[in-house]
A and B are shown apart, each in its own frame.
Chain A
Amino acid sequence: MVEITDVVCSLCGCVCDDIVVEVEDNKVTKVKKGACAVGKSKLMGHGRIEEPAIRENGSLKACSYDDAIKKAAEILAAARRPLLYGWSSTVCEADKVGVELAEEIGAVIDNTASVCHGPSVLAIQDVGLPSCTLGEVKNRADLIIYWGANPAAAHANHMKRYSYISKGYWTEEGKKNKKLVVVDVRRTATAKMADVFLQIEQGKDYLVFSALRALLYGYEDVVPDEVGGISKKDLLETVKMMKESKFGITFFGMGVTHTRGRHNNIVNAIEMTRAAHTHTKFSIMPMRGHYNVAGINQVCTWETGFPFAVDLTRGYAWYNPGEVSATDLLIRRECDAALIIASDPGAHFPGESIRHLAKIPVIQIDPFANPTTEFADVVIPAAISGVEAEGNVYRMDNIPIRLRKLVDTEYIADEEIMKRILDEVRAIREKGGN
């Protein structure tokens, strides 16, 4: 038995890196410390795609890696409007090869931010993002707001490691001297812990941000007695807490990005942060989901100039979410082939786009089966990043951390699968005189 410390979790955007595991006979046998229940399950391992496969007459037939990679390359090389999608649950090294492949075949490359914090990116492009690292929150924050986010369920270690319950330099007594505000449409597990819970009416986030902004700028007279289901008294109380805090932060989740108002909500949330910043130090941060969704945004940005929804058919990067984002392309039935890696559009895309995806050749690269596997035509199992493969990832606050390899595997890492597909594609194109 070997004990491995400082293990980095490859589950959510928290990227906890203080996990201790035991490894015996090339298998993680115990997670001793650090991981939440979901992270633990990932580290311990569960059902996976066991072998490469190609769909024949409606059902997947096992094949060799070579055959699956060759088939994948043939599909991509022949496609006129290929889509390369996913990239958030793998390492940056694989993402980089993805961008290179997109350039080579003139593909659209998009990532899960497109259906997740894409609206947040659009808002940042409008007004910027006053933010900080999670350690800043740990050491300084005395006011924490979770808005449309339920970390108690979705980012189980977030409060303990970084925010409300953590202890740091100026926060050595933990939650005792902190305030927690939760804004949500229902009384979530996180809301139950809050000093102030503002139960907002569905779709009224924009109004409430506007009301708080007005109060922060001193325009109390323009705010009515109730906004979005929240009383003016509660709004005033919240603003008082914001002004009196030494360091405040708003963490926001899908509850804000995917309700009425979308990216405009986030613009307003950031504007509220700017307003609060006229009184005290105030920051804001999106609660990123996948452990490396921040990383694909980073890689895609430094390589193409843009964070998601990048069309490389012109030979240079064309960025236009809404036009060349994955769901829109699929709904318009433009794509004639798709490579899906480290994600599951089968479960998360709108029905209309899935219907088109099911009709076109789909290559899936993933350690685990998911609804996308049901219609994938080529399935390539990958090593599990963070357990069987190492590589760089970016935490939700864009801090880069290197995933560790804990055990050996026969499965090939995403980066190598991608490189082999790229090599095959180049060989085919060269033969064809391109």
Chain B
Amino acid sequence: MVEGELLIRNGVVYDPINGVKGEKKDICIRDGKVVEEVKNPKIIDAEGRVVMPGGVDIHSHIAGGKVNSGRLFRPEDGRKGVKARTKVCRPESGYSVPNTFATGYRYARMGYTFVMEAAMPPLAARHTHEELVDIPILDNAALPLLDNNWMTMEYVKSGDMDLLAAYIAWMIKATKGFGVKIVNPGGTEMWGWGKNCSLNDTVPTFDVTPAEIIKGLAEANEKFDMPHSIHVHTNMLGHPGNFEITKETYDLVKGVKAAKGRQVMHTTHTQFHSYGGTNWGDFESKADAIADYINQNDHATIDIGSIILGDTTTMTADGPMEYSLYQITGRKWTNHDVELETGSGITPFLYSGKSPVNTIQWAIGQELALLVKDPWKLALTTDHPNAGPFIGYPILISMLMSKKRRDESAEDMHKVIYDRAALPSIDREYDLNEIAIITRGMTAKALGLHEHGKGHLGVGADGDVAIYDMSPEERDAGKIQKAFLNTKYTIKGGEIVVKDGEVVATPAGKTYFVTPECDDKLTDEMMVKLKDKFDHYYSVTFNNYAVQDAYVPNPYEIKAPWRS
């Protein structure tokens, strides 16, 4: 047997990026990469089982200050899901806010091998990276928050898009980040004074609107060959009637030309942004309106942020939203505003099928997935842990694949589901190819990671493979859910990391970061303004700000050249 060679034999392969839709096929891996053939490999018999590339999560909160504040203030959540150490694994704790080890093991057991941490406060980027290093198995990346930054707003105001590009380039490099994250633009800065704003309101002092910030950042992002588009949490999350704002947000960037063949905007946890009605009394689903927009336009992609019923811990850089949520529930509430950049809020929340509002929310996420026709425009997420923990993905997969299961579940929900949501009337069922698209193919492409070996099994791709213990003909929702919760095998970089649902090896993951390459003259000009911010307003010095190489021991750099 040749060291480093692996042959996955006779599996039924779903590799949508390469157009493979459930074909009986062998996968050969050598030295961590998919190859044409192997000589004398270790053999895994996948006869009759479903084989997919390793899962790629486009949006999940797994590491950093917010996540850890969630763990710290919820020992009652920590107590759930405890699992003792094994010869291979370190102890697990937590359900909605699992510890770093549990995060790696649970994703790996579901067949995922890459996760994007969706919100990294630049000033606390070292913290995010310290936790990412402690998450075993998973390759990872993190999106720095760049929208409520004073520098961003000042350049948007003055219209200096090249300098704005120089700023985001420097910040992405300084934080070892992956792209541009936008969360309630303008609103989080206003939260510094306890206020909030909507898309076309003017942010005092900076005299810009959220709409201008979003458009400016989209243009700045596309000045480089960035693998990913701007990644947007739109204004007014969770407010009844916000679907109009969401649609208007898409329209803002319609004319922006993408640097690469991908979307120019990804909006995240779109379930929270697809609300109709004027208050919680007449609250209704507008998933159809959002889906119509996505169906008719090609410049925007979404992830669904679908609800998992039960208790969870909500957390976002959208500080005012978390305050509103805390005012509704009266439960514990943590807030952490970050100077010159961003903020955050955290509060526990229970999604109950007895609540009419939660019932409609629950329907909306699934409606989005079922009403958007082209799965390449859509990703499966729960905005972990906001709409529910990632460990609920298999439940969602079984729902999307089974109308029967959806109908049975709807019976247990508040009856409002039959009046103000479309879900019970939708017959569509996902097939495994579509599931593979929304959990790895689309997500890898939207992040530009398919060019770096993620999300597919073509020759040269990373040897990241999930083998699910189910036949492609399986239609029993319970069995589907079970299969997607614990793989028969998960293979990461050619190494078997999960076997029969148990973690058997815990290699370190790589951290992917992007280096946007900006003209020195532009950078120098921008730097004058940035250094002034450090001299007068930041509480750390310029020379202590950027994330040192020591925090990214397993780096994977993606260069993003300036487009002339």
Cβ of B38 < 8 Å from any Cβ of A? Answer: no
| Contact status of A132 and B99, CB under 8 A, knowing A138-B537, A305-B71 | no
A98 to B500, CA, bound (A): 32
Docked-complex contact A127 and B91, CB < 8 angstroms = no
| Contact status of A128 and B346, CB under 8 A, knowing A17-B540, A316-B93 | yes
Complex interface bits, A164-191 against B, C-beta within 8 A gives 1, otherwise 0: 0001110000000000000000000000
A139 partner residues in chain B, CB cutoff 8 A: 339-340, 537
Segment with Cβ contacts to A, from B125-133, B380-388, B480-488: B125-133
| Contact status of A127 and B544, CB under 8 A, knowing A136-B337, A169-B537, A316-B83 | no
Cβ of B158 < 8 Å from any Cβ of A? Answer: no
Docked-complex contact A316 and B85, CB < 8 angstroms = yes
A154 partner residues in chain B, CB cutoff 8 A: none
Docked-complex contact B193 and A281, CB < 8 angstroms = yes
Docked-complex contact A133 and B332, CB < 8 angstroms = no
* Top 10 A-B residue pairs of the complex, sorted by shortest distance between their CB atoms: A135-B339, A315-B84, A305-B93, A135-B539, A305-B78, A128-B332, A281-B194, A400-B126, A132-B337, A128-B334
Docked-complex contact B539 and A399, CB < 8 angstroms = yes
Docked-complex contact B536 and A132, CB < 8 angstroms = no
Cβ of B426 < 8 Å from any Cβ of A? Answer: no
Q: Which of B90, B92, B97, B548 contacts A402 (CB 8 A)?
A: B548
B358 shortest CB reach to chain A, Å? 22
Q: Which of A5, A133, A298, A303 contacts B101 (CB 8 A)?
A: A303
Docked-complex contact A136 and B339, CB < 8 angstroms = yes
- Could you tell me which residues of chain B, from 55 to 114, have a CB within 8 Å of some CB in chain A? 63, 65, 67-69, 71-75, 78-79, 82-85, 90-94, 97-101
A313 shortest CB reach to chain B, Å? 10
A398 shortest CB reach to chain B, Å? 6
Docked-complex contact B83 and A135, CB < 8 angstroms = no
Complex interface bits, B520-564 against A, C-beta within 8 A gives 1, otherwise 0: 000000000000000011111101100010110000000000000
Q: Which residue of B lies closest to A172 (CB)?
A: B536
Cβ of A255 < 8 Å from any Cβ of B? Answer: no
Docked-complex contact A281 and B192, CB < 8 angstroms = yes
- Could you tell me which residues of chain A, from 377 to 391, have a CB within 8 Å of some CB in chain B? 390
Cβ of A283 < 8 Å from any Cβ of B? Answer: yes
B117 shortest CB reach to chain A, Å? 13
Most chain A C-beta atoms within 10 Å of own C-beta, residue among B65, B101, B544, B551 = B544
Which range contains the number of B residues in contact with the other chain? Answer: 35 or more
Cβ of B335 < 8 Å from any Cβ of A? Answer: yes
Cβ of A140 < 8 Å from any Cβ of B? Answer: yes
Cβ of B134 < 8 Å from any Cβ of A? Answer: yes
A131 to B69, CA, bound (A): 11
A301 to B72, CA, bound (A): 6
B540 partner residues in chain A, CB cutoff 8 A: 17, 135, 399, 401
B83 partner residues in chain A, CB cutoff 8 A: 316
A127 shortest CB reach to chain B, Å? 5
Cβ of A8 < 8 Å from any Cβ of B? Answer: yes
B79 partner residues in chain A, CB cutoff 8 A: 319
Cβ of A317 < 8 Å from any Cβ of B? Answer: yes
Complex interface bits, A228-257 against B, C-beta within 8 A gives 1, otherwise 0: 000000000000000000110000000000
| Contact status of A297 and B548, CB under 8 A, knowing A135-B340, A316-B83, A398-B65 | no
| Contact status of A317 and B543, CB under 8 A, knowing A127-B333, A298-B127 | no
B564 shortest CB reach to chain A, Å? 36
Q: Can you sample 12 A-B contacts with CB below 8 Å?
A: A6-B541, A8-B544, A136-B338, A138-B539, A247-B193, A281-B194, A303-B99, A317-B78, A317-B93, A394-B127, A398-B65, A400-B124
Docked-complex contact A401 and B544, CB < 8 angstroms = yes
Segment with Cβ contacts to B, from A72-80, A118-126, A196-204, A322-330: A118-126
What is B's interface to A at a CB cutoff of 8 Å?
63, 65, 67-69, 71-75, 78-79, 82-85, 90-94, 97-101, 123-124, 126-127, 130-131, 134, 150, 192-194, 323, 326, 332-340, 343, 346-347, 536-541, 543-544, 548, 550-551
B458 shortest CB reach to chain A, Å? 36
Docked-complex contact B82 and A316, CB < 8 angstroms = yes
Q: Which residue of A lies closest to B84 (CB)?
A: A315
Q: Which of A92, A130, A297, A399 contacts B334 (CB 8 A)?
A: A130
Docked-complex contact A121 and B72, CB < 8 angstroms = yes
Q: Which of A6, A103, A128, A135 contacts B91 (CB 8 A)?
A: A103
B131 partner residues in chain A, CB cutoff 8 A: 302
- Could you tell me which residues of chain A, from 270 to 326, have a CB within 8 Å of some CB in chain B? 274, 277, 280-283, 297-299, 301-307, 312, 314-317, 319
A226 to B260, CA, bound (A): 69
A306 partner residues in chain B, CB cutoff 8 A: 71-72, 75, 78, 93
A246 partner residues in chain B, CB cutoff 8 A: 193
Tell me how many residues of A have a C-beta within 8 Å of chain B: 63
Docked-complex contact B127 and A400, CB < 8 angstroms = yes
Complex interface bits, A392-406 against B, C-beta within 8 A gives 1, otherwise 0: 101000111110000
| Contact status of A305 and B99, CB under 8 A, knowing A18-B541, A161-B539, A316-B82 | yes
| Contact status of A125 and B74, CB under 8 A, knowing A103-B85, A247-B193, A305-B93 | yes
- Could you tell me which residues of chain A, from 253 to 274, have a CB within 8 Å of some CB in chain B? 274
Docked-complex contact B544 and A125, CB < 8 angstroms = no
What is A's interface to B at a CB cutoff of 8 Å?
5-6, 8, 17-18, 92, 96, 100, 103, 121, 124-136, 138-140, 161-162, 167-169, 246-247, 274, 277, 280-283, 297-299, 301-307, 312, 314-317, 319, 390, 392, 394, 398-402
Q: Which of B91, B123, B193, B338 contacts A304 (CB 8 A)?
A: B91
B544 partner residues in chain A, CB cutoff 8 A: 6, 8, 17, 401-402
B540 shortest CB reach to chain A, Å? 5
Docked-complex contact B72 and A280, CB < 8 angstroms = no
Docked-complex contact A136 and B537, CB < 8 angstroms = no
| Contact status of A133 and B127, CB under 8 A, knowing A6-B543, A17-B540 | no
B343 partner residues in chain A, CB cutoff 8 A: 132
Q: Which of A100, A126, A132 contacts B332 (CB 8 A)?
A: A126
Docked-complex contact A277 and B194, CB < 8 angstroms = yes
Docked-complex contact B71 and A103, CB < 8 angstroms = no
| Contact status of A131 and B93, CB under 8 A, knowing A103-B85, A316-B84, A316-B85 | no
A399 to B337, CA, bound (A): 11
A298 to B127, CA, bound (A): 9
B123 partner residues in chain A, CB cutoff 8 A: 133, 135, 399
Docked-complex contact A135 and B538, CB < 8 angstroms = yes
A109 to B72, CA, bound (A): 16
Docked-complex contact B78 and A128, CB < 8 angstroms = no
B101 partner residues in chain A, CB cutoff 8 A: 303
B192 shortest CB reach to chain A, Å? 6
Q: Which residue of A lies closest to B135 (CB)?
A: A302
A402 to B346, CA, bound (A): 26
Docked-complex contact B99 and A302, CB < 8 angstroms = yes
Q: Which residue of B lies closest to A168 (CB)?
A: B537
Docked-complex contact B536 and A131, CB < 8 angstroms = no
Docked-complex contact A400 and B193, CB < 8 angstroms = no
Docked-complex contact B543 and A138, CB < 8 angstroms = no
A125 partner residues in chain B, CB cutoff 8 A: 72-75, 332
B85 partner residues in chain A, CB cutoff 8 A: 103, 315-316
A53 to B323, CA, bound (A): 54
Docked-complex contact A312 and B537, CB < 8 angstroms = no
| Contact status of A140 and B193, CB under 8 A, knowing A124-B73, A301-B72, A303-B101 | yes
Q: Which of B71, B73, B98, B335 contacts A132 (CB 8 A)?
A: B335
A312 to B84, CA, bound (A): 9
B542 shortest CB reach to chain A, Å? 8
B539 partner residues in chain A, CB cutoff 8 A: 133-135, 138, 161-162, 399
B541 partner residues in chain A, CB cutoff 8 A: 6, 17-18
B181 shortest CB reach to chain A, Å? 18
A167 to B535, CA, bound (A): 11
A319 partner residues in chain B, CB cutoff 8 A: 75, 78-79
Docked-complex contact B99 and A130, CB < 8 angstroms = no
A245 shortest CB reach to chain B, Å? 11
A126 partner residues in chain B, CB cutoff 8 A: 332
A301 to B99, CA, bound (A): 7
